[in-house]
Structure 1
Amino acid sequence: MAEREGRRWNHNIHFHSVVLGAVPAHASSALDVGTGDGMLAVELRRTLTDVVAIDSSEAVLNAAAKQHGGIEWVLGDVMTHDFGRTFDVVAAVAVVHHFPDLRRGLRRLAAVTSPGGSLVVVGLARAASVRDHLYGVAGVVQHRWYSHRRTMWEHSAPTVWPPPHTYNEARAAAAGVLPGAQWRQYPLWRYVLTWRKPAR
């Protein structure tokens, strides 16, 4: 992931480049799920003409909408909102651990992804193995390094900690719901799940 000196940084922004790198060449539309302050939606809008950002927090969403134009801001729950269409890119950064049922949440995200489109999940999970804890140690070091060299920025979106599922549970859920999905665990207490929906 490329460094972005001089720009604000936090653990979620750190992974925006992963989402942007997964945008298909043919893409024109994107859905940013749990957009919060809207930073990812803004980055997506720089390359895509049609960006929808949804969040269930009215105060956070209104603040984002006041600062950024050219994006359709939707107050609602992605699990129940009727978009009336699908999207070439569906991104969920630090969102799926909020879902009461992870598998159901992943199915919903897959359902709003267009055929041939990409689903990218940057998720949080709970450490439950020696390997997980080693990644956590690396995350502490990485956090200190970046936070001393960047402008550390605290988002205003609601948080859930600790996450309700472990890394292994999240990986198993993805394998069961999204066949062929790519999975990678990272420091900074994150994993990345990318899935290309089969074209019709």
Structure 2
Amino acid sequence: MPTDSRHRWNHNTHYYPAVLDTAPAGARTALDVGTGDGLLATDLRERVPDVTAIDSDPAVLDRARETGAEVRWVLGDVMTYPLPEEHYDLVAAVASVHHLPDLASGLRRLADLTAVGGKLVVIGLARSASISDYAMNVAGTVQHRVLARSRGFWQHTAPMEMNFPHTYAQARRIAAATLPGMIWRRLPLFRYSVTWHNQRR
């Protein structure tokens, strides 16, 4: 059975192409945070020669290894595992930052792992609390029905946490304060994105 995201559609894999397109030209290193079933790491490995994927769940990481991709699979907590700082040309976190104990410290940690000139991209989840949020939810529901019917819906095996600690507005304020110059987008399919370019000198 195919193991990459092109053959398995859900709300997370839908945004993998956008994550892949964020990789800087000539990227040599990438980090997939909360890799889950390892599909994004597998896709990244087709573009980036050195990919590390980290997850704190041993069972799901074992399943990720079954992809057979030449990826460095790491069992650990991204907040404490001794990953090299300012090393990764692309740091990607899809549906994982709401699992961290604190969003601001989590984003700072991911930024510290991003190489100078590299990109950090987060696809996150949050709580709806405004009229615009609920309007986006309606659009997302319609999009889900259309795409699930045409592509099928694949349920990943990673543990899910549906208790979101922040609203979209709160997540945006925290990201703006933590990652100056970040680009925020509210996405359909109940997601948001944060993209940050490490221009520290």
The bucket for the TM-score relative to the shorter chain is over 0.9
Residue 58 of structure 1 aligns with which residue? 58
Q: Does 1:19 align with 2:15?
A: no
Q: Deviations over 1:89-118 (max 9, x none)?
A: 000000111111100000000000000000
Number of matched pairs: 195
For residues 103 and 200 of structure 2, the distance between their equivalents in structure 1, rounded to whole angstroms, comes to 24
Q: Does 1:190 align with 2:187?
A: no
Amino acid at match of 1:166: T
For residues 70 and 101 of structure 1, the distance between their equivalents in structure 2, rounded to whole angstroms, comes to 31
Check whether the contact 1:8–1:153 (CA below 8 A) recurs between aligned residues: yes
Residue 3 of structure 2 aligns with which residue? none
For residues 87 and 9 of structure 1, the distance between their equivalents in structure 2, rounded to whole angstroms, comes to 27
Q: Does 1:74 align with 2:74?
A: yes
Residue 93 of structure 1 aligns with which residue? 94
For residues 7 and 121 of structure 1, the distance between their equivalents in structure 2, rounded to whole angstroms, comes to 22
Check whether the contact 2:24–2:89 (CA below 8 A) recurs between aligned residues: yes
**Secondary structure class of the residue paired with 1:175:** helix
Amino acid at match of 1:174: A
**Secondary structure class of the residue paired with 2:66:** helix
1:164 Cα deviation (Å)? 1.2
Residue 158 of structure 1 aligns with which residue? 159
Identical positions, percent: 54
1:7 Cα deviation (Å)? 2.3
Q: Does 1:45 align with 2:45?
A: yes
1:84 Cα deviation (Å)? 2.9
**Secondary structure class of the residue paired with 1:67:** coil
Q: Deviations over 1:44-69 (max 9, x none)?
A: 00011000000000000011112223
Residue 127 of structure 1 aligns with which residue? 128
Root-mean-square deviation over aligned CA pairs: 1.1
TM-score by length of structure 1 reads: 0.95
- 1:106-185 to 2 correspondences below 5 Å: 106-185=107-186
Query: Structure 1 runs of 4+ off > 4 angstroms?
Result: none
Residue 33 of structure 1 aligns with which residue? 33
1:26 Cα deviation (Å)? 2.6
1:162 Cα deviation (Å)? 3.2
Check whether the contact 1:97–1:123 (CA below 8 A) recurs between aligned residues: yes
